[in-house]
Structure 1
Amino acid sequence: MSQTAPGPRLLSPTYAAITIGMCALIGFVAFEAMAVTTVMPTVARDLDGADLYALSFAAPLASGVIGMVAAGLWSDRRGPVAPLIWSMVLFSLGLLICGTAPTMEILVGGRLVQGLGGGALTVGLYVLVGIVFPRSLQPGIFASFAAAWVLPALFGPALAALVADALGWRWVFLGAVILVGAAALLIAPNLRGRRTDTGIATAGAGRLVWATVGAVAVLALELLGSASGVAGLGALGALVVVVLALTRLLPPGSLTGRPGLPAVIATRGLMSAGFFCAEAYIVYVLQEQWGLTPARAGIALSVVGVTWALSSQAQARLGSRVSHVRAMEIGSLLVLAGVLSLALTVWLDGPAILAGATYVLAGAGMGFGYPRTSVAMLDVSTDADRGFNSAALSIADSLGAALALSISGVVFAATQRQDGNPFLAVFVFAVGLGVLGVLTSRRTAQPA
């Protein structure tokens, strides 16, 4: 009696080495993200740079757009190997600048360099998934990427607080350089033979220009919008420029949520905008409003990270039993529920544990809906446009969050000047983004 041969698995001999290498890289980068979010309130106080707090988060996201576009174009022409290598070099250089920065302005500059590498890294990994793994394994590898955040989420915030207390916050950045180097040693040998010359001649200069313009405009929006008087009006012009840049960098109809791929990309951007806008301030508000230490406040990030990973694994196991559209709808709804509950807790001055617990819902939403945006994008991509679509998805992700953070900085400063609760204002803004995400997720089905 014949038996059906088992299907391919991520840890089968064919895919084990590249799977482990890619997940290790994601894990080390995740540790850096968790650690920096935990210590940034301390950094801002130490460098007297509270007015640049939001910009320190928006900077790497905005500059990452340039890296994404460059890596997407490069990957479509020559494959993802070279972009991956250069992305790790730039990311590490940015960390070195941050770790030795004497002022908050220089630290933000380091975050810009770090973002260039991080953006290219994201696209390079996504393109590599499309080349290396069959479609049946793609939901699993994206879920594994999410799972690679589990260990950093468990010990990252606490370790960052410990390092900052014992050695100083600078070693949070400098120590991450060592981890990225270790990941490079793991993944580099497995990239041999992965070069894929497509011969596609893409005119990328225009897209690179618009990526740069969009990144600069996002950062200018926060700087101008936070200023008082006439200078604040310049933020409106910067916002217009950002919109123009997005129309050049994303597929037509993305900004209006046109059904199909444009709506998928818009949903990814709105989910990230609402979630990361709130995440940047969750540790900050726990310290300022409830007086928690960085280590205790960082527990919220740990729980959210674990929840994200578990939720991602759940959607992967459900597979085709839950459609991509339904998964994105559920994810968007949970993100909205999380930021709304957080806003209500801050408004009513509920217990600190409730503020952290409610935000866990948003992490569950990201875990359930976020990976499906990637799979839905790859489903409608070909060898000729996989790099462009991967870059577009990552641009919406990164620039959406950067724009939200810049606007949140403006909202924070304006509310503070009016003696209001700036944290509540930021979280209400995140709720609005969550509502838009839910509405857009319902338009993600491919048109007949």
Structure 2
Amino acid sequence: MGNRDTPPAKIGWAALLSGTNGVRSLALAGGVVLHAINVYIATTILPSVVKDIGGIDYYAWNTTLFVAASILGSALSARLLISMGPRGAYIFAALVFAGGTLICALAPSMPVMLAGRLIQGLGGGFLFALSYAMIRLVFDEALWPRAMALVSGMWGVATLIGPAIGGIFAELGVWRAAFWSLIPVVALFALLAAAVLPKRNMDGGERTPLPLAQLALLTAAVLAVSAGSVSPVLARNIVGLAAAGILTALLTGAESRARHRLLPRGAFRITTALGALYATMSLLAVAVTSGEIFVPLFLQVLHHQSPLTAGYLAALMAAGWTLGSIASSGASGKGIGRAIVAGPILGLAGMVALTILMPTESGGGWLALAPICVALVAIGLGVGLAWPHLLTRVFQVAPHGEQDLASASITTVQLFATALGAALAGMVANVAGLTDPGGIAGTANASRWLFGIFAFAPILGVFTALRVVRLHSKAREGSQVSHNAGLS
């Protein structure tokens, strides 16, 4: 487990980015780049897409279906890695992703577009999860936080490329070309993977049956919220939420009885270290997703920005995420705990600011946009500060024998939270007037309610983050006591 060529003393960035480690880092980072660039391209061009082929009621479904399929890809990634090895798994994932991208580029209507996004999501989920899962396989544990920060930091690269591609093509009136431009990028990374990734799975994992029942319940819960989110009728929204609640309860029960699990033991109990970690990760992901989907639309309608500018401004959250990840990756001791708690606090400050600032229509001048930009960066920065350490602790506290499951669970949990956040965001926006009455008034009201309601996610995140820190401190104290007893 891990790359044993790296001396234990070499734990800095130089150890990660030089020699064999450097080439492997580039390959793993590439998987996330593909996934993330697509996210920002799609987010940026969606306003243009619905103007051309219609389907604004299904606006949020573009993200929900993409992420729901990514959950399946994430859960299947461990099996794919065992069956095909790192090189084969990566190439297969890239091919699936390219197929979905091709469908999106040719889509004549929103249903076809959604089908393409579904296939894209499956391939993206493979790529996303494989990139994280291989960190544990090819690097020493001392390098995990920096490797996590590097891979997570690729969202920052996507913030530079994705909105530019999407925005330029949207302004030229050829949004389909944004999808076409992705296919050569996919081919390049597939060739890189073929050249640098090992053919065989170095961890020698065993193939286990898929937790099909849990996967079906997980996906159904997301789709239930999504189905309810399309309607502006509150009663239908409540039915969708109730169905999702029932399906989630069934999922929890199925996991507790299952021989083959979707998540490691203790994942659904907030009293455990894993449960607290997953809860904090989910709440941070929900806070980002809820705003990120609709920010380009709000900026174009309420603050009269071009598609290109709106796409870049929306990507400020991801840029903040990258900065936070890199800044906190070298933290140790109590600094890690402070970074974890700072995450939801910064997220809360940003959400409250957007609740006040975003609904107020402006002429698009920087005097009005600057505070919005600061709020967007604050939300992403908070997630970035906490994220590498939350993920590293998932690896560290996973029950013995469930490390592979823990690797896949990172993306499963993140993507589930993202899909649920997207579906709930669509529900809140539609009920608050995005489609009826629509226009300036409806969009302003939708933005106010959206950011106001989702500010509760980081509020809860503060409490779960504090629990993460307390449980870790207790575990360390217990370990120290046992060590001292052994010495005596």
- TM-score, structure 2 as length reference: 0.83
What SS does structure 1 have at the residue aligned with 2:72?
helix
Please name the residue that 1:26 is paired with.
Answer: 32
Equivalent position to 2:465, from 428, 441, 448: 441
Q: C-alpha separation between the residues in 2 aligned to 1:93 and 1:239?
A: 33
Mapped contact 1:251–1:262 kept (Cα < 8 A): no
For the structure 1 residues 18 and 251, does the alpha-carbon distance in structure 2 shift closer, same or farther, using more than 3 Å as the test? Answer: closer
Q: Shift of the alpha carbon at 1:360?
A: 0.9
1:182 partnered with 2:179 = no
Pick aligned residue for 1:139 from 139, 142, 145: 145
Matched, 1:7 2:20: no
Alignment of 1:217-228 (within 5 A): 217-227=221-231, 228=233
Which of structures 1 and 2 has the bigger CA Rg?
Answer: 2
Is 1:270–1:400's contact at 8 Å kept on the other side of the alignment? Answer: yes
Seen in structure 2, the aligned counterparts of structure 1 residues 290 and 186 have a Cα distance that, compared at 3 Å, is same
Matched, 1:365 2:382: yes
4+ residue runs of structure 1 moved beyond 6 angstroms? Answer: none
TM-superposed deviation, 1:192: 2.2
Residue type of the alignment partner of 1:117? G
Q: Cα distance 1:194–1:374, how it changes in 2: closer, same or farther (>3 A)?
A: farther
SS of equivalent residue, structure 1 residue 196? coil
Q: Size of the alignment, in residue pairs?
A: 442
How much does 1:402 deviate? 0.8
Aligned to 1:422: 446
Matched, 1:108 2:125: no
TM-superposed deviation, 1:168: 0.7
Confirm or deny that 1:338 pairs with 2:350. yes
Aligned residue number for residue 282 of structure 2: 269
Q: Does 1:53 align with 2:70?
A: no
1:51 to partner: Cα distance: 0.3
Q: Give the fraction of aligned pairs with identical amino acids, expressed as a percent.
A: 26
Q: Deviations over 1:8-35 (max 9, x none)?
A: 6012223121112222332333222222
Q: Report the alpha carbon displacement of residue 294 of structure 1 after superposing the two structures with TM.
A: 0.8
CA distance, structure 2, for counterparts of residue 224 and residue 308 of structure 1:
31
* Unpaired runs of at least 5, structure 1: none
Counterparts of 1:282 and 1:112 in 2: how far apart (Å)? 22
Report the equivalent of 1:161: 167
Find the counterpart in structure 2 of residue 214 from structure 1: 218
Q: Matched residues in 2 for 1:347 and 1:165: separation?
A: 24
| TM-aligned CA deviation for residue 151 of structure 1 | 3.4
- Residues 209-262 of structure 1, C-alpha deviations (whole Å, 9 max, x = no match): 321332133123222343338655541223321443366344455445223111
Task: Using the TM superposition, name which of 62-71 and 50-59 deviates more.
Answer: 62-71
CA distance in 2, matches of 1:128, 1:60: 23
- Give distance in 2, aligned partners of 1:57 and 1:245: 23
Q: CA RMSD in A?
A: 2.6
Cα distance between partner residues in 2 of 1:167 and 1:141? 39
Aligned to 1:322: 335
Bigger mean CA deviation after superposition, 173-182 or 214-223 = 214-223
Query: In the TM superposition, what whole-angstrom CA distance separates every residue of 1:334-369 from its partner, at most 9, and x where no partner exists?
Result: 122212211121245572332232111011112111
Alpha-carbon contact 1:286-1:352 (below 8 Å) kept: no
Change (3 A) 1:246 1:428: farther
Q: Which amino acid aligns with 1:275?
A: V
Q: Which amino acid aligns with 1:425?
A: W
The answer on whether the counterparts of 1:95 and 1:176 sit within 8 Å (CA) in structure 2 is yes
> What aligned pairs does 1:120-135 form with structure 2 within 5 A after superposition?
120-135=126-141
